[in-house]
Amino acid sequence: MKILVFIQIRDDKVEENTLGILNKIKTSIQGVEIIGALLGKDLKDRWIQELGLHGVQQVVTATAPELEVFLSATYTKAMMKIINNVNPRFVVAAGTVYGEDLIPRLAVRSNTSCAQRFVDFTVEGDGLHFHTPVRDDQAMKVTQVVGDIIFATSRPGAFFVDENPTGTAPNVTNVSVTFDDADRLVKHVEIKKAERTVNLKDAKVIVAAGRGVAGKENFQIIRELADLLGGQIGATRACTDVHWVEETYEIGQTGQSVSPDLYIAAGISGAPQHMSGVKAKTLIVINKDEGAPIINYADYAIIGDMHTILPILKEKLK
Amino acid sequence: MKIIVFIQQIVSTQVKLQGVDYFDASRVSDDDLVINPTGKNAIEGALKLKDSQGAEVTAVCVRGIKPNKALKEAIAMGCSNAIEITDEAFYTDDPYLLAKIYAKALEKIGEYDLILLGVDEQSTSSYAAPAMLAEMLNVPSVLTAEEMEMIDSGFRVGHVLEGGKKIVEVPQKALISCSDSQYFIPRYTTMRGILAAKKAVIPIWSAADLGLETSKVNVDAASLKQISLSNIVIEKETFLINEGEPEEMVDKLLAKLKEDEVKLGA
Ligand SMILES: Cc1cc2nc3c(=O)[nH]c(=O)nc-3n(C[C@H](O)[C@H](O)[C@H](O)COP(=O)(O)OP(=O)(O)OC[C@H]3O[C@@H](n4cnc5c(N)ncnc54)[C@H](O)[C@@H]3O)c2cc1C
């Protein structure tokens, strides 16, 4: 099976969900030809070597000043050129913001649909079955894309990166692509990069708060509890987006991934984009809503007002 | 300015699954039927523009068991009018077909400036419909918006991005998908809105009204086929404390943690 993987670069490296997909493909499909589509302004040989190591046999590049940052129109156009050139059976991207933007557009241009946010796939005949958690992760839906070409995105955090990759240098080919004014209707202004000043990866205890914290000043009690337990604080994007707490504390798909022994989640609903970054041995939840999806993941849950519960918890722990 | 907001009606994820047949309409009550949460965020985005610039906001609902209920709520929030698009033949679990129906609806609506949608839809976990629609219409688009601001040339939009946020500018005739950010937190319905909703007569358009051959949008036309749908059984058993005074609750938690030998420190 010929598979085209949309390669995403972040922080000057191949992004880890993309490496995760490569690992998943290598270990679950036999007789594959893995082709990486690498787009950008200046492409580094280091990235190409890394892709080879992780099993990519051929890298097809497209370079242009317009490809410096992802924009739907330019990336869709360049990817279509690569697709027409490579003629793959399966086109896949990690379901990052960019991946989820790109794949459906490529599907439409190819007159077909796409599977999204899969956490697993299996080979069935000459097709693939995709497993996607739906309804806030209450149910698993298995789907198939019929037709000559299959499009899909994976869910971030779904696959592990191969720690000991043994691949060799890939072949590199290039496609040329040009753009016109119609491709420049959406203008890039800037990327506001979140400053990562605190690394939460190794934290053994995290006390995290969500929108239920209801204001910047209420993070005080979260910090106090974290200090008391010798841990770190964490937050959902709902809190970092409005600067109730520094962006570095964002946990989830677009923030940091954490794997503490203990995660205390107060006023957090449990959106899949947040939970995909949390792998805790023990999860304690404080939420006023018993129906909140996060309760499904909890080992212990108090249904109540965090503003009353947390101060009591702090006093008792002292 | 004419704004079209596409919403969907879903069975609230607060309703827990007790089997795979939760799409069975007879098992859900009216209260369980809600606007898909980010669809409501999109309505809020439109109403903010209505408040600040003056705009006609039309809510359109294609997917759901009782779309009329969702649309009445949209009007009660402040939308100017609403259109229900229903046809027994529609298969809207495939975002490609859903986007096709949206595109046809826009053709019939005729003039519009801005299209807003929610980022995702929870019963399929699909993010695809907005991108697919933008591609079909060939309009400039921004997905996963967290905030938007009107500028001379159109809108400046901040959207979700791994490791930060990205700012882009789009023309006024554009498609934007809205996320569950603070900026898009939906407002409550008002008394005035509820009265307007009561009086509103919401037209229903069928596939034929849209000039759509049902064979192009029915289950056989789907290229995304469902193989199965099943419960996810989480092995974890939650120790749930949902009764008692706050202090008792905390005591109960701490006692149980001690019993289970859970270490509370780093
Ligand atoms: C592409 C994309 C990527 C994203 N990436 C991330 C990510 O990496 N990380 C992330 O966190 N989010 C991410 N999000 C946002 C995500 O979808 C949710 O919007 C967000 O996680 C919700 O945060 P929350 O749980 O704090 O807020 P809400 O969903 O609003 O939940 C608040 C919870 O607090 C409870 N509550 C309210 N008041 C109280 C009280 N007094 N006491 C107790 N409980 C109370 C409520 O019952 C509710 O359950 C992303 C979104 C998109 C579209």
What is the whole-number distance in angstroms between the Cα of residue B22 and the centre of ligand 1? 25
Does domain A2-184 correspond to CATH entry 3.30.70.1450? no
Whether residue B251 lies inside any domain: the answer is: no
Ligand 1 neighbour A307 (Cβ under 6 A): yes
pLDDT at B27: 74
Q: Which residues contact A168 (CB under 8 A, 6 or more apart)?
A: A52, A53
Whether residue B227 lies inside any domain: the answer is: no
Residue of B nearest to A202 (CA): B266
CATH number for the domain harbouring residue B185: 3.40.50.620
pLDDT at B23: 57
In sequence order, what E strands does A52-99 have? Answer: 58-63, 90-94
Stretch among A30-44, A109-123, A177-191, B23-37 having the lowest mean pLDDT? B23-37
pLDDT at B147: 98
Ligand 1 neighbour A238 (Cβ under 6 A): yes
Q: Which residue range is the domain that position B81 belongs to? A: 2-221
pLDDT over 80 at B38, yes or no: yes
pLDDT at B16: 74
pLDDT at B17: 63
What is the whole-number distance in angstroms between the Cα of residue A268 and the centre of ligand 1? 5
**How many domains would you assign to chain B?**
1
CB neighbours of residue B53 within 10 Å: 10
pLDDT at B18: 59
Whether residue B232 lies inside any domain: the answer is: no
**For B13, which of A109, A136, A230 is closest by C-beta distance?**
A136
B122-161 pLDDT, tens per residue?
888 899 999 999 999 999 999 999 999 999 999 999 999 9
A277-307 pLDDT, tens per residue?
999 999 999 999 999 999 989 999 999 999 9
Whether residue B245 lies inside any domain: the answer is: no
Which of the four CATH numbers 3.30.70.260, 3.40.50.300, 3.40.50.1220, 3.40.50.10780 does domain A205-317 have? 3.40.50.1220
Indicate the pLDDT class of residue B22, thresholds 50, 70 and 90.
low
- Are A207 and A225 contacting, i.e. CB atoms less than 8 angstroms apart? yes
Chain B residues 44-103 with CB within 8 Å of chain A = 94-97, 99
pLDDT at B19: 55
Number of alpha helices (DSSP H) and beta strands (DSSP E) in chain A: 8, 18
CA distance B199 to chain A (A): 33
Q: Do A144 and B241 touch (CB under 8 A)?
A: no
pTM of the full structure: 0.97
Q: What ipTM describes this predicted complex?
A: 0.97
Q: Which residues contact B127 (CB under 8 A, 6 or more apart)?
A: A95, A100, A104, A116, A117, B119, B120, B143, B177
> What are the residue ranges spanned by the domains of chain A?
2-184, 205-317
CA angle (B93, B98, B104) in 5-degree steps: 160
Region B206-222 average pLDDT: 98
Query: What single string gives the DSSP state of each residue in B191-204?
Result: HHHHHHHHHPPPPE
CA distance B19 to A26: 35
Whether residue B189 lies inside any domain: the answer is: yes
Region A221-233 average pLDDT: 98
A154-168 pLDDT, tens per residue?
999 999 999 999 999
Ligand 1 neighbour A99 (Cβ under 6 A): no
Largest CA distance in chain A: 66
Residue B251 is encoded by which pair of tokens? Answer: 């005591």
- Check if A2-184 and A205-317 are the same fold: yes
Residue of B nearest to A211 (CA): B182
Size of interface A-B (CB pairs under 8 A): 258
B60-83 pLDDT, tens per residue?
999 998 999 999 999 999 999 999
pLDDT over 80 at B25, yes or no: no
